Structure 1
Amino acid sequence: MRPTRATVLLTAGLVTLLGVPSAAAADTPATLYVDNNRNVVDCSDDGPGSKDLPFCTISAAAKAVRPGQTVRINTASPYAEAVTIDRSGESGKPVTFVADGPTAGSLVQLSSGKALKVSGASHVVVRGLRTTGGVQVSASTDVELDRITSYSITGSPSLLVDQGSVDVRLTRSSLGYSARVEGGSRGTVLSNNKMQGVATASVDAVDAPGTIATNNTIYARCDAGVSFRGGSTGSGAFNNLIYTAPPSACANPGPRTGILVGQSAAAGTRVDYNMLAGFLPDGPGPYKWAETAYANPEALRTATGQGAHDLLASEAGGVGMTDGSPTIDSGDPTAPGVLPTDYDGYPAADDPRVPNTGKDGGYIDRGARETQDELRSVLLEVARNWAPAGTTVQTKATADHSWRLSPLTYRFDFGDGTAPVVSTAPAAEHVYRAPCACTVKVAAVDGAGRKIEHQQSIKVTPATPLATAFTAQPYLPSASDANRLVTPLSVQVDPQGAAAPWPIARMDVDYGDGAKDTGSTPDPVQHAYKQPGTYKVTVTLTDIKGATSTAERSVQVAYTPAGYVAVRPSRVLDTRTTGSPVQGGTATPIDVPVHYYSSGPHHTAGASAVVLNVTVTGATEDTHLSVWPSGQPRPVTSNVNVKAGGTSSNTVTVPVGADGKISAQLNSGKAALIVDYVGHYQPNTGQRFTPLAPTRVADTRTAGGALGGGQTRTVKVAGVNGIPADATAIAFNLTGTGSTENAHVIAYPEADKRPTTSNLNLEPGKDKSNQAIVPVGPNGTITLYTNTGSTHLVLDAVGYYAKDGKALFTPVVPQRLADTRTTGKLAPGATATVAGIPANAVGAALNVTATDTTGPGFLTVYGHGATRPEASSLNTRPGETVPNHVTTPVADGRVSVWNSHGGANHVITDLFGYFTQG
């Protein structure tokens, strides 16, 4: 604050309106409580009104309150009551009703349309109440209404003072409609309020002598801003900011009047230091005094001696709390009704950029709110937010505040328990004596005590040499990886464990597979390896002082167990339409559908292995197709065997490559390739698998008859045969027999949503089988369809997926477990044991191929040592090589393969993954 003289003038003009209750008698409690929030506290209107047992209603407290007592009203819930205060206090001992909320601005809310009345009472204070029913003071004396919010939903005055009330004061309040004073009421003071009139004047005094309106912000809509009529002599309007509002929805569309003083109210009435905005200087509207209109303050002053320091603006813009506004520091601090604080509770503030043009050099603003040196922000800069103990740390604060010419005080707290540094200088420095993860805070405080803060974290390290350390863990997909591809075999290298006394300027990572990363910060980095194995990872850190340190470790990279996500089948590749067949000697890349987390819960970008139905057709020669993860060497395994000119299909489970793709290649010749996407395995999501000994769930030869071309057959698969009703997908061996034409079969979940994919290709006179994994449709069913001819279908379930299933799937690089072409054929009726599966596996995903067959028959694959089921895993045919995807239980890392009595076979078994519990 600047001139002492102005401060004296300001203080001299204050009217003490915010009274403080004196101490009550010793036998009278100083405070009564009201709290209707019954979920938190018990209340009773018949109780003592104590903090432990408060009144439930304000009305009950109003009946019990005694002089000198304060009623504290909890603001948590509205009060569904109209409140009438008719008990009086005494001089120096008012009865006081105040909002008791968590913040200074908390308001007591009366329910819609409920009113507050003070009737026949004296020495009453009400602070912090909100009502839409209006406020009425009748036949009362010495009544203070502070921080009131009143919006009358009936359109009647928000405040009515009548029946000869004396010394009523409305301060720092907001009125949605007018304040009306009438009926011989005297000495009413309206200070630092925001108000507007609608059908009547915003401040409307009729036969109310001595009404004072000071430092209000007023919106004149359909009538005057301030109106003194009838016998309202000796009244006054000072320091008000009066806006004219557009006359929309007004019965009188003419110009508004800023200040109106009737003929009978003019005696002793004074008007000065007001600001009238939105009134044309050369037109009617600003004033009407004793029935005469005056177009500007000069005309009013010449005729009446009033309004000598009033200001007039034709536009409302730039007036009020705006830099350069003429309302700033131009009011009268000695005017009757001036308060020590404004509408927001701030004292008068001297803007050093503006001349003090108020009365006698005073600097109070016009209107309800005082323009302040607003502290917008403060920014804390720490020169080194990472340094060893013993280093001098320098800090600087940059404050953004409106006036910038007034000094600020800065309080720096360095967060290590030492005393804060308080200074008018915006910079400070500090030496930390011990390592810590500290928070440095700065508070900028202005002359009025307003404060704004900012903070920064600082890492104080031990004064030791740089020593690199890091962890290397599998990086698995999660919901936080939205819109990001996370491929299998991803590893996260995290150097956060390094001992770094100074900030790191460079980090070099060698992943051990030829890939490297370089960065300027020691943040975790991820890398996708192309194939499992053991790799030497090396991390080198360099700090800002030039020191370097290197650490290395061996990292085991392996596939992670994953759950299965079943999806509606979809076709992802058909080279018959692209004109790019697969062929021997050239790998064909296949894009796996990537659907990110933001697209929904089914397809994701975190698949570790995919399940496909792969069909090869139109081969130029007898050949086979291999499918494997992109980026890895082509394995010796195979997935689909096909004869020249023929069509063959098989289910394929294969890991996804580091680039999110898989590869397919023919051994020789050319052929068309059709790939249907069935589902995928993904860590941290999906369903667990429970393997079953092959269990027959449908056989059209014994029930329902052959399936005709273009027909569908719905089959119950969940909730029967030991498969739970909540299973989400079923793995089964699908066999077609007795087909009358070349055709294909589709197995799918929803009968009315048949996909364009296929699961089994049929030929007349041949038994053909293929394993399928199909999502469960409505009521635990799936639907079967064949496009032409007719065929019998046999379904043998080999396992199911469910939330409470047993095992997760771990994909492997495709590998060959057994090949009888090096050991001799499997004779009819004989059983072979296949080993090489991890000992803890409970199930496995295999590709089993029968070749060089001497007679028609079938193979059955089952868990080693278990009872052989009466079901087939693939059907063998003389002169043909027949593969099939087989999901089977495993025991002790082994499975058994039984050859039926049809003929001798060579049997080839390839492993694509296994299931483990946990």
Structure 2
Amino acid sequence: MRPTRSTVALVASLVTFLGIPAVAAAEAPTDLYVNNREGANCSDTGTGAQAAPFCTISAAAKAVRAGQTVRIVAAGDDVTIDRSGEPGKPIAFVGENSPHLNGTWTVSGASHVVVRGIKSYGRIEVGRSADVELDRIESYDDLVIGEASADVHVSRSRISGIRIEGGAQRTVLSRNHISESFRSPAVVTDATGTVITNNTVFSGCEAAVSVRGASTGSSVFNNVLVVSDGKSLCRWPTEPHGGLSVAQGAVAGTRADYNAILGQSGVAMTPYTWSGTGHPTPAAFQAATGQGAHDLLPPWTGDSVPSEGSPVVDSADATAPGVLLTDHDGNPVVDDPLVPNTGKDGGYLDRGAFEFQDRLTSVSMRLDQTWAPVGTKVTATALADSHWPSAVLYSVDFGDGSVPVLTRQGDAPEASASHVYASPCTCEVKVTAVNQAGMKASASWSTKVSAADPLTAAFTAEPVLPTSDNPITHIAPLTLQVDTSPTKAPWLVPDVRVDFGDGAAEQHDRLDAFKHTYGAPGEYKVTVEVYDEKGTQSTSVRRVKVGYAASGYVATEPFRLLDTRTTNTPLSGGSSRAVQLPAGISVPGHPLSGSMAAAVLNVTVTGAREDTHLTVWPEGQTRPTTSNVNVQAGGTSSNTVTVPVGADGKLLAQLNSGSASLVVDFVGYYQPNIGQRFTPLPPTRVADTRADGGALGGGQTRTVKVAGVNGIPADATAVAFNLTGTGASETAHVIAYPDPAKRPTTSNLNVEPGKDKSNQAIVPVGPNGTITLFTNSGSTHLVLDAVGYYGKDGTSLFTPTVPRRLADTRSTGKLAPGTSTTVPGLPAEAVGAVLNVTATNSAALGFLTVHGYGAPRPEASSVNTRPGATVPNHVTTPVGDGGRVSIWNSHGGSTDVITDLLGYFAKG
């Protein structure tokens, strides 16, 4: 097909899209506004500015001058326009967003007037006026043009009926939708030179277009005249029901051609009436009158807008008088490449008010190379989702600053464009498709242009850490991310394999970040193998250290997690018991993070059948040679336990021998990137009932001030204590808790008559910086020594470790009374340590004091020793130079001391 006007329009549209500046329009005169909505501040005596609009159109019509536009937002009055514009400077009345107007419109004795974009429920009349344009009007009553008006143009409007009469001259109807059920929709009476071109007219009665009286020299071209079944609605029909009727007095100089008369199925009609004679077909009409040589008489499909393949598409006369190159909806004239151009001289104008348009909802694109070295030709192939893909123009921007490539579909069903990149980049290739109607759709795809270097595998390895305490999110400790994206690859890499060094491996189809959770901390050999699409292989190997991350502490209200007494399922020696740590909302009233790194528990062993000890460790890891709780046959013993969390969120607990019941209370947890930092303190006495207040009686509570005193800041959130019970009158348990109104059903210390017993407790700070103490029966004295606190101004983060033994004097000789032993083996950066210190084989009653190496020994106890008993305690202590702590034995007698590391604090 030869180049067409639509092609020119299409190229112009693309040029506009690509950002070539257009010629600036002349500055428009000041607009006037009409808006009578509430709050618009309107006045008919004002200036009509947008901030102070007129209330009525009539007021604006009296004020408007040549070249000005009245913009109508809302109004409802009758309007008479009797002022005139000037040639090239009309006065215009334009509806903003098609306002609904109830009044009648009259243009009387005026010229150079434009009315556009209004919906009118009243009558519209033009009389004694010239050069008037009515455009995009929606009228629910008659539109009348008469009284010798001249050169009135009605275009792209939807009207119920039009009457052209009273000596009107050269009226033009173009691209209108006209519908009337009771009479002829378009009637021309005694109006010479009327032009009716490219309208879609629906008639239920009489003729769709009726040219009457002395309306000589009229033109009727390119119209779609639909004859529907409305005959029963006719009031007083004066002419046959049909398409075109031209009276005898109007025949002279009147021409008609390229019209399509569509009859509804089963409707009897006379397509043509000419000078009083009916003609049943276009051929008969042409033979008798010489008119209608290119008329069509197809069946009506029921649509106003033509469909694909309709004979009205691309079959009109583009040279007919009154032709507009935009249709009723503002769409441009386009050439349908799927139908032949049967219009005059091979033209492609459609008949009727509507141009059948290509649709363009999307465009797809693919690249033959999404990863390639510099110098490789990259081809983008695109396909638009359109009726007429061959009529779509594509602009391909390869994203490196080069000029976009313009292309069309050729013999292949798709369009393609190629480009050679000159330098490496990760470039976004974008295709924009533009059809003949100016509709656009875009798609993009990324391509990596690499340096022309050899394939070289590389990776980074970083721990995956939680960033919040969201209970729903689960990021297991010991999770590592192996990112293979640093690999240098000239070509696409579709095969990536990672061996994590613990027996696990994973394969992806691209360079990617791999996440893997290890079962235990350690050093692992990670191997990355990559294969590019050319079959080249490269390997990178590195040893990676995996461990628990430094963490803050989250204090929680304590709650009971497990009590085998209630389920009658005691532990048996040699068999481990899994303990599922709570996460999310599994424990009502205690929402907890799903990403904790270590848990702090109070673990009690009771009802032991023989002397034994309990070990707690993360599930999935080897049972350590450490212990947490030592208990004698028939006795009850408890201890605080800080233990890392296993990859599956579980812990294991196992008795060395015998059987016993297990009680586990949840106290708090550590997690990276949240919680409070810790500040270790030399043991500092904060309460001693022997000197103040007397023994705590059964069922009684005692409130102790712990924050804002003794070097502990008032805003501390939790305090770590060594809690010692002495002088107990009977076996009982002691609870330390924050809120005196909410005593938990947990315990921190089990006391017995004649025995000094201690346990470390981490207690959230309650109201006014206090904690509350309670014992369930008997009476006991309590001693509280603070060993550190948690708060926003704390100095250190906690790094959990799998429990490991630091020292055991059973292999080096007992610790004599009044002497100290030095325990090394802590990280050099440690400022505090969490230990499990056990005294065994003690010769007499006494106590041990644990403190930082090189620091003065405090006057406080950490572990109480008893002859014939093995006594452990959870100890938090400052660490001295060289990662060492000192343990001093009081003058009670010699003893063996076992020191196990549970974790350490370091400044972070």
Measured against the shorter chain, the TM-score band is 0.7 to 0.9
Paired AA for residue 422 in structure 1:
L
- Find 1:394's aligned residue among 361, 365, 379: 379
**Hey, what does 2:280 align to over in structure 1?**
none
Q: CA deviation at 1:266?
A: 8.1
- Aligned residue in 2 for 1:549: 538
- What does 1:520-539 align with in structure 2 at a 5 Å threshold? 520-539=509-528
Query: Does the 8 A contact of 1:86 with 1:121 survive in 2?
Result: no
Residue 205 of structure 1, CA deviation? 7.3
Greater shift after overlay, 685-694 or 619-628? Answer: 685-694
Structure 1 residues 581-620: aligned runs within 5 Å: 581-595=570-584, 603-620=592-609
Q: Distance in 1 between matches of 2:630 and 2:326?
A: 91
Pair 1:517 & 2:506 matched: yes
Aligned residue type for 1:400: D
| Cα 1:453/1:709, change in 2 over 3 Å | same
Q: Looking at CA atoms only, which structure, 1 or 2, has the larger radius of gyration?
A: 2
Q: Cα distance 1:879–1:482, how it changes in 2: closer, same or farther (>3 A)?
A: closer
- Change in CA separation of 1:524 and 1:157 when aligned onto 2, cut-off 3 Å: same
**Are residue 845 (structure 1) and residue 834 (structure 2) matched?**
yes
Q: Equivalent residues in 2 for 1:375-524 (5 A)? A: 375-404=360-389, 406-416=390-400, 418-424=402-408, 425=410, 426-478=415-467, 485-524=474-513
**Inter-CA distance 753–265: structure 2 relative to 1 (3 Å threshold):** farther
* Root mean square deviation, CA, Å: 5.2
Give the percent of matched residue pairs that are identical in Structure 1 and Structure 2: 51
Larger mean CA deviation between 350-359 and 675-684 belongs to 350-359
In structure 2, distance between residues paired with 1:896 and 1:277: 108
CA distance in 1, matches of 2:72, 2:860: 80
Instruction: Name the stretch that deviates more: 493-502 or 338-347.
Output: 338-347
Matched, 1:627 2:616: yes
**Aligned letter for 2:785?**
D
Q: Return closer, same or farther for 1:419/1:914 CA change in 2, 3 Å cut-off.
A: same
Q: Deviations for 1:744-764, whole angstroms, at most 9, x for unmatched residues?
A: 344444455544433333434
- Answer whether contact 2:29 2:67 (CA < 8 A) is retained: no
TM-aligned CA distance change 1:871 to 1:182, over 3 Å: farther
Shift of 1:400: 0.8
- Corresponding position: 1:215 with 2:156: yes
Structure 1: how far apart are the matches of 2:543 and 2:81? 89
CA distance in 1, matches of 2:763, 2:853: 26
Q: Between Structure 1 and Structure 2, how many residues are aligned?
A: 806
The equivalent position to 1:131 in structure 2, one of 73, 77, 83, is 73
1:644 to 633, 637, 640: 633
Q: 1:419, 1:271 → 2: CA distance?
A: 47
Per the normalisation by structure 2, the TM-score is 0.74
Alpha carbons 2:41, 2:51 under 8 Å: kept: no
Would the aligned equivalents of 1:232 and 1:265 in 2 still touch at CA under 8 Å? no
Counterpart in the other structure of 1:725: 714
What amino acid sits opposite 1:372 in the alignment?
Q
- Evaluate the alpha carbon distance shift between residue 614 and residue 149 of structure 1 in structure 2; reply closer, same or farther with a 3 A threshold: same
Following superposition, the deviation at residue 808 of structure 1 comes to 0.9
For residue 372 of structure 1, what is the aligned residue in structure 2? 357
Q: What per-residue deviation string (whole Å, max 9, x for no partner) do you get for residues 467-502 of structure 1?
A: 222222333234699966433333222222222222
Separation in structure 1 between the aligned mates of residue 419 and residue 154 of structure 2, nearest angstrom: 54
1:224-263 alignment to 2 at 5 Å? 239-241=175-177
Confirm or deny: 8 A CA contact 1:87 1:121 kept in the other structure.
no
Q: Could you tell me which residue of structure 2 aligns to residue 120 of structure 1?
A: 63
Tell me, in whole angstroms, the C-alpha distance in 1 between the residues paired with 2:310 and 2:52. 37
C-alpha separation between the residues in 2 aligned to 1:277 and 1:743? 102
Match of 2:279 in 1: none
> What's the secondary structure of 1:117's corresponding residue?
helix
User: For residue 156 of structure 2, what is the amino acid of its counterpart?
Assistant: N
CA deviation profile, 1:489-539 (whole Å, cap 9, x unmatched): 332222222222222232222223333223332212122233333332222
Segment of structure 1 superposing worse, 139-148 or 647-656:
139-148
Q: 1:796 aligns with which of 771, 785, 792?
A: 785
Aligned 1:308-323 pairs, distance under 5 A: none
How far apart, CA to CA, are the structure 2 residues paired with 1:340 and 1:170?
A: 20
Which of 159, 164, 169 aligns to 2:114? It is 169
In the aligned structure 1, how far is the partner of 2:5 from the partner of 2:372? 52
Distance 1:665 1:299, change over 3 A: same
| Matched-pair contact (CA < 8 Å) for 1:618–1:645 | yes
Shift of 1:178: 4.4
Q: 2:332 is matched by which residue type in structure 1?
A: P
Q: Specify the code of the residue in structure 1 equivalent to 2:393.
A: T
TM-superposed deviation, 1:790? 5.0
Distance change (3 Å), C-alpha of 1:874 and 1:130? farther
Q: Deviations over 1:547-569 (max 9, x none)?
A: 22222122233332222223333
Q: Given the superposition, is the C-alpha separation of residues 584 and 392 from structure 1 closer, same or farther in structure 2, using an over 3 Å criterion?
A: same
Deviation (angstroms), 1:433: 4.9
Alpha-carbon distance in structure 2 between the residues aligned to 1:799 and 1:756: 25
Tell me: CA distance 1:768–1:905, structure 2 relative to 1, closer, same or farther (3 Å).
Answer: same
Query: How far is the alpha carbon of 1:397 from its aligned partner?
Result: 1.0
Deviation at 1:652, TM superposition (A): 1.0
Does the 8 A contact of 2:679 with 2:796 survive in 1?
yes
Give yes or no for the alignment of 1:912 onto 2:891.
no
- Alignment deviations for residues 877-896 of structure 1 (CA, whole Å, 9 cap, x no partner): 44332222111211212223
CA distance in 2 between partners of 1:705 and 1:180 (Å): 103
Q: Structure 1 residues 72, 414: closer, same or farther in 2, change over 3 A?
A: farther
State the alpha-carbon separation in 2 of the partners of residues 580 and 147 from structure 1. 84
Q: Residue 564 of structure 2 aligns with which residue?
A: 575
1:100 maps to which residue? none
Between the aligned partners of 2:163 and 2:741, the Cα distance in structure 1 is 80
Which of residues 811, 823, 835 in structure 1 aligns to 2:824? 835
Alpha-carbon distance in 2 for matches of 1:743, 1:332: 108
* Aligned residues of 1:297 and 1:308 also touching (Cα < 8 A): no
Specify whether residues 150 and 480 from structure 1 end up closer, same or farther in structure 2 by C-alpha distance, changes over 3 A only.
farther
Change (3 A) 1:498 1:356: closer
Deviation at 1:917, TM superposition (A): 0.7
- State the partner residue of 1:813: 802
